[in-house]
Amino acid sequence: MACSNVFDAFAIATENLADEVYRNASYRSVWLNAIPRGTFETGVGTVKTTFAIENSEPTSDAETWSQITNTQVVGGSDGGAGGSCASDFNDVEVGYTSRTYNPEEFALRGPILCKDDLIYDHNVDTFLRAYIEEMTKRAQRSWEKRYEELYMKFASKLSVGNGATLVDTENTITSIDFGSSGGKSTSTLTQQLLDQVAVELIDRGATNPDSNGWISYGEDGPVFPLLIGLEASQQIALNNADLRNDFRHAESGKGGASELMSRMGATRSIKNFRHVPNLRPPRFTWTEVGNKYTRVPTYLMSAATKGKKAVLNPAYITAPYEAAIVMNPNVFTSEIVPPVNAAGGVSWNPTSYMGEWKWVTGGSKIQASNADCEDPLDKLGRHYAEFKHAPRPEFPNYGVTLIFKRACGTSGSVSITDVTACSS
């Protein structure tokens, strides 16, 4: 039986081809540095439980204290405890929240390569290096996007505007019911709203500085990282007359008028938030049936001269809602599942579940749908990568996902000028 067609994204040297292979630049994400990693404990099953000790506070700000008088100092007539020795004790209530979590997996595979075809393909070394780099970036993107989605799953959520309040839930963001908390967003993201979020985070105790500098707490108060799109960041800096005036009168070296002239994508700190530019922020549409947001894919794969190429999704460009994320490394930890390469006197080839590419040869091994593919000399090869980790929630309400309207109106068009809180 004939084997499936091998990958044809190489240029065959049938004409005078340029030796230079140009590379398209792609954005870099902060998620791999923001989420702490650990190791998943093996031999304990697939369901694990994490416990968070909750805070204990008095339920009354004016607790009743008993006065000690001269008559109370004298002990009881029977020699027992009495007077000042007989205290009325109030119970202290403590508790914990338990959350279960499971490991999860994902896998990728690259195109099939034929050894003999490389004899005739053009500029093979350059093409192969470029493809391997792209595949490495693709595997990295899988981690980044998964961490982003999990963070939005665990963190508190706020649909900006319409009297909405923070929703504390660990359900996936694509099925969050915002109907009881204001419904769909009716406002763009404003500094006034961010001020309220900062107060809430401070009240929750999400202010502990971390060793990597994501959360800082100095004499000027706590500063939280806000992963935000370029347009939304620029809106906050430019579209508030009072805030612009504050910038102009700020002390030299701490912002000032120069903040208003910052380039798109510049990192800026405004009050309690340090804006971390996000070139491809999550975007959503709203579904009235079920009152939920649905995430819009950022990219589509389109036909190239040979093979496929990633292009920006037109629906992503016009999506009416966007998310800004208040980041905190204490929200969850990614526990990487360690592979078992040897047990009970038997062993396997070393594997990794970190998304590292492994080269596998042999037609019958790399074409599961065509087990009869005859390749006795292992001339066909393919890259494979496996991902396995367990997301362990820790303090989900230390992070916040803010879903807001990108622009006023209903057309979906976006302008970074003259945009304020929407009236409808």
Residues whose CB falls within 8 Å of the CB of residue 159, separated by 6 or more in sequence, listed in order: 167, 178, 181, 182, 183, 184, 185, 403
- Judging by DSSP bridges, how do beta strands 48-53 and 342-343 pair with one another? unpaired
Report the pLDDT value the prediction gives residue 417, as an integer from 0 to 100.
43
Q: Provide the 8-state DSSP code for 54.
A: P
Residues in the chain: 424
Query: Alpha-carbon distance 109 to 384, whole Å?
Result: 4
- For residue 72, what pLDDT is reported? 57
Please give the single-letter amino acid code of residue 288: E
Phi, psi of 106, rounded to the nearest 5 degrees: -155, 150
Q: Which residues pair with 228 in a beta bridge?
A: 277
Residue 70, CB-side half-sphere exposure with 13 Å CA sphere? 0
State the Rg of the chain over Cα: 29
The DSSP result for 296-309, as a single string, is PPSEEEEE-SSSEE
Q: Measured between alpha carbons, how far is 279 from 151 in angstroms, rounded to an integer?
A: 18
Give pLDDT, residue 323.
Answer: 94
d(CA 309, CA 296): 18
Report pLDDT for 264.
47
Residues of the chain below pLDDT 70: 1-28, 71-84, 120-122, 164, 170-182, 211, 239-267, 368-372, 409-424
pLDDT tens profile 361-396: 888 778 756 656 777 888 888 888 899 999 999 889
**How far is it, in rounded angstroms, from Cα 337 to Cα 37?**
11
> Residue 119 has what DSSP assignment?
G
pLDDT at 24: 55
| Token pair belonging to 199 | 């107060």
**Dmax over Cα atoms in the chain, in whole Å?**
113
Strands 380-393 and 332-336: what pairing?
Answer: antiparallel
- The residue written with tokens 């065509």 in the block is 370
Please report the pLDDT score of residue 251 as a whole number: 47
Query: What type of residue is 242?
Result: D
Residue among 112, 106, 105 nearest 359 (CA): 112
Beta strands in 221-326 (DSSP E): 221-229, 268-270, 273-278, 283-287, 292-295, 299-303, 308-312, 321-326
Strands 358-361 and 221-229: unpaired
